[in-house]
Structure 1
Amino acid sequence: MDRIILVAQQLAKEGKTPNTALIKARLPKNIPLPAIIQGLKMWQDNPNKQIEAPTEPALTGTTMHSVGGSIDEIINSKIAQAINPLKQEINELTLHIEALKEKIKSIPTTAVEE
């Protein structure tokens, strides 16, 4: 149940209203719908319940920890993966700009008389 409550809390933090479909989408496929409904009801009764880590054996190890830890860690990892190519492109463009500035500096300036 703790894992289901954690997912509901994360959805709420994202500004989404937790429901069975959203929760089911973030859980392993082997979680039965009645358990999701029960977990959602528990979250609705106490949305701010403090949960440190999932306690169900089926939800620890291969599901949560092997992916990289908490949902925040997974999100941060995905953001980093999306940003890294952009950072590389910015660095390349910066180098091109610097090269163009050097070329401009080397162009002789002549006064245009009118």
Structure 2
Amino acid sequence: MSTPLEQVMAAAAAVAQSGHTPSLALIKARLSNKLPMPLLVEGLQRFKSLPESEREKLTQSEPRQDEAAPQKPVPTVEVLQQEISQLRQEQQQLKQEFAALQQRLAKLEGQQ
């Protein structure tokens, strides 16, 4: 695993390789994790100070974001319908419990 600074520099290299000028906004958008702004600034400055040959090495050694992230399976319609059904049942149960709590609270307030 690379350091956060190396991640910033690799993201800058990837932005440059895609034909754009690396900027803080583009780098931040490319990184999935939240990094502090001073770290982003330092990484961008270091990237800009690198010779062209070193910049190319950054993109070659760093795996692309879409390759590194495992693909999540897309749920089927049936699975989604089951989840919706379960959520509706839970919602009904919570409504009933809420109504019972309201009645109990009303009784307790009436006793005072």
TM-score (ref. length: structure 2): 0.46
More helix by share: 2
